[in-house]
A and B are shown apart, each in its own frame.
Chain A
């Protein structure tokens, strides 16, 4: 089974609107961490936000927030007030407590922000 599933290969959003990028994960380890990365067309991978499995509150970093629903095993990224510079690939990733040396990435979602 896939560890990380991102079901939206591509998405469009109007500038200044909010957008949610979906991520579901699969693990039986009670201890895990979830990460989101942004990859612009230039290629670099930029860390956005982190959520730990034991964190009581949803993580937030500026315009980025993580909608963490543990029972559903989902960790959706919410970008508020989209900007043209948000156009990029977005990857969800996970590492598990029992094997934290490995990082599992989803297939990514390509976000296009329209002016």
Chain B
């Protein structure tokens, strides 16, 4: 069965410092991996995805994520955190990309709190 783990319920970081939000996964075959962000009273917003190719993927708002097949990880990173980055972040895995195979299996979420 495919699953996603986000080991940290909350990550605290000072504004201007680098941030990392961790994600590990358990899948069979080749994974498709995603990060979504959820602001209060808002729907989930797509940040970035890994489908194939370069292990370092860049996404919206200066975020990036590194796919590590040997460690089955897909950690979200940003070089310099902003207070406006404070939100709930979800890692997700999918058996496919697009169409009928594209259902997402989500982790439990990590609350990112950036202090000014």
Genuine A/B complex: no
Chain A residues proximal to chain B, CB less than 8 Å: none
Chain B residues proximal to chain A, CB less than 8 Å: none
